[in-house]
Chains A and B, each alone.
Chain A
Amino acid sequence: MRVRVENVRFHYRLGEPVLKGVTLDFEGEATAIIGQNGAGKSTLVRLINGLLKPVSGEVRVGDWNTGDFSVARLARRVGLVFQNPNDQVFKSVVRDEVMFGPKNLGMSGDTALASSREALADVGLEGAMDANPYDLSLAERKLVSIASVVAMNTDVVIFDEPTIAQDYAGVQRIGTLIEKLKARGKLIIAITHDMDFVAEIFPRAVVLRRGEVIIDGSTREVFSRPDLLRDSFVEPPHATQLGQALGLSETVLSVDEAVKGIKGHRSRLGGLAGSDTAHDQQFFQ
């Protein structure tokens, strides 16, 4: 499924534009949306799932213009995980919460249950089926809200800050889940402030600044522009920062790449300069 955002403008209050003519085309690739607090990221994804309608311009999900469909209809194509799980979770049993979407979309009881079981297992909460979401911790409630949307099995899945409150294992689990959805051909869009996570999972990144797209490209390209990123209150992943501080010629995105890059750099320069330590001093300047 393809999602197209065409020259979309939006404001909540007249005279305070939040999106100032955004054009984006999503197809196939998993995309991360990054940018400073208040840049308009959550607003953008609420426009894609139809909760908000553009003031001008249009949003198309496949061949549907969001303006022509109710949010409930659009939910057949787009699933959105809210930023704050407390805004999303409203049933008093996890099982009901996760099955709510699948049932509304018309899945049979058995299919809905199977789909919900799988989604809960994917976030590591298979044991929490009968728990009350309000007895769970914030981190777990976020996982329930993710499972509730994934269980709907929509073609487009959007995550608004999926890793909030998660520890390392939680972040890994969410990463694995997104990889699995990618492999199934889902269109994935995610908002996050965790740049290590972006580098690990998303081939494409879009940087939003005060309602405008300022960079849109492969994650590697985007993170090679520390100057532009700084203006957007974003910093590259930690491994990338290390590479840049050392002046590696390629932008590295992970610990492994950084290690390879440094080894390569050493042997390349080392090879050229032999073992002359005077030259070696200039390896990393």
Chain B
Amino acid sequence: MRTISLYVEKESFIHGLDPVTKLWLTASLLIIPFIVGNIESTLVCLGINLALLSVARVIRRIFSILAMSLVLIITLFIIQGMFYGGNRTEAFALGSLVFYREGLRYATLLTLRFFNIISASMVLILTTRPSDLIESLVRRGLSPRIGYVLASVLQIIPMMISNTSTIMDAQRSRGMETEGRLVTRMKAYLPLMAPLVMSSLVATQERAMALEVRAFGARNPKTFLHEEIISRHALPIRVLTSLGLVAAVIWRVIL
């Protein structure tokens, strides 16, 4: 049983930060390029993100994700290069296909933004346990019910997937061919949806009762089993990111 999570367990300065500071950091580095709007700011933020990822020793993970998006990026360059609305200046031509500077520049901006979004999110995702993030948010006033739903979905979805294979085991054991060609497998999968939903619903009702008797609905302030450790770097980082945000807004308004 695994939970849905890309968290990579390592010891690092970034791993040691509390989830909310990281959330703050990620959000700022993600938004600043959009506020400022130019390629340069995007490059700076992307650079910071990649630096953070290498400090956390998880930078390799991001390369595979970026490599997977290569097809998307090439398509982006082709379409924008040829058909971007602001296309004026021809850059080069491949036979009868003409590519324009403005389109290619725009495609570069989009690509960098895309890389930046991915790497900024990964700073948070690769270095933070989802449950820790949720718990931090609950500490800061997120409703425990919403927190519970988020946390349990992360575990219960993998469980539903393993349920699928259990039901297929039940079918195979009673003579239904589920191995072999794709069509055979699809035929085996389709009838699974109803029982999956059914058994999940039954389980949900019972689980809801089980939560009630463990005082889940109690209105008193809850305790958190783990003490929240805020590293001494948290404050400077929050101050810096806030300053960065303010600077970006000023840049946008004034220039």
Contacts and interface: CB of A to CB of B under 8 A. Distances in A.
Given A90-B195, A92-B194, A134-B202, A104 B176 contact: yes
A51 B172 contact: yes
Interface in A78-96: 79-80, 82, 86-92
Contact of B191 (A49, A79, A90, A148): A90
B171 interface: yes
21 contacts: A51-B172, A70-B180, A71-B178, A72-B172, A72-B178, A79-B173, A79-B174, A80-B173, A87-B169, A88-B170, A89-B170, A91-B195, A104-B174, A104-B175, A104-B176, A105-B175, A134-B198, A134-B199, A134-B202, A149-B174, A152-B174
A254 B203 CA distance: 39
Nearest to A158: B173
Interface string A47-60: 00101000000000
B93 to A, nearest CB: 57
A104 B175 CA distance: 5
A102 to B, nearest CB: 9
A165 to B, nearest CB: 15
Interface string B166-199: 1101111111111110000000000110110011
Interface residues of B, number: 21
Given A86-B199, A90-B191, A91-B195, A76 B175 contact: yes
Given A75-B175, A105-B175, A134-B198, 20 more contacts: A51-B169, A51-B173, A70-B180, A72-B175, A72-B176, A72-B177, A75-B172, A75-B173, A79-B173, A79-B174, A87-B166, A87-B170, A89-B170, A90-B192, A90-B195, A92-B198, A101-B175, A149-B174, A152-B174, A152-B175
A100 interface: yes
A70 B173 CA distance: 10
Interface string A143-157: 000001100100000
Contacts of A80: 173
Contacts of B199: 86, 134
Please provide the 4 A-B residue pairs with the shortest distance between their CB atoms, ordered closest to farther: A104-B175, A101-B174, A90-B195, A71-B172
Contact of A72 (B166, B179, B194, B198): B179
A152 B175 CA distance: 9
Nearest to A72: B177
A265 to B, nearest CB: 48
Contacts of A76: 175
Contacts of B176: 72, 100, 104
A75 B202 CA distance: 29
Contacts of A148: 174
A51 B166 CA distance: 10
A92 B191 CA distance: 11
A75 B198 contact: no
A10 to B, nearest CB: 16
A71 B173 contact: yes
Contacts of A105: 175
Contacts of A134: 198-199, 202
A115 to B, nearest CB: 13
Contact of B179 (A70, A92, A101): A70
Contacts of A87: 166-167, 169-170
B104 to A, nearest CB: 50
A136 to B, nearest CB: 11
A72 to B, nearest CB: 4
Contacts of A70: 172, 177, 179-180
Interface string A96-138: 0000110011000000000000000000000000000010000
B191 to A, nearest CB: 7
B173 A90 contact: no
Nearest to A145: B170
A92 B180 CA distance: 26
A216 B192 CA distance: 40
Nearest to B167: A90
Interface string A23-65: 0000000000000000000000000010100000000000000
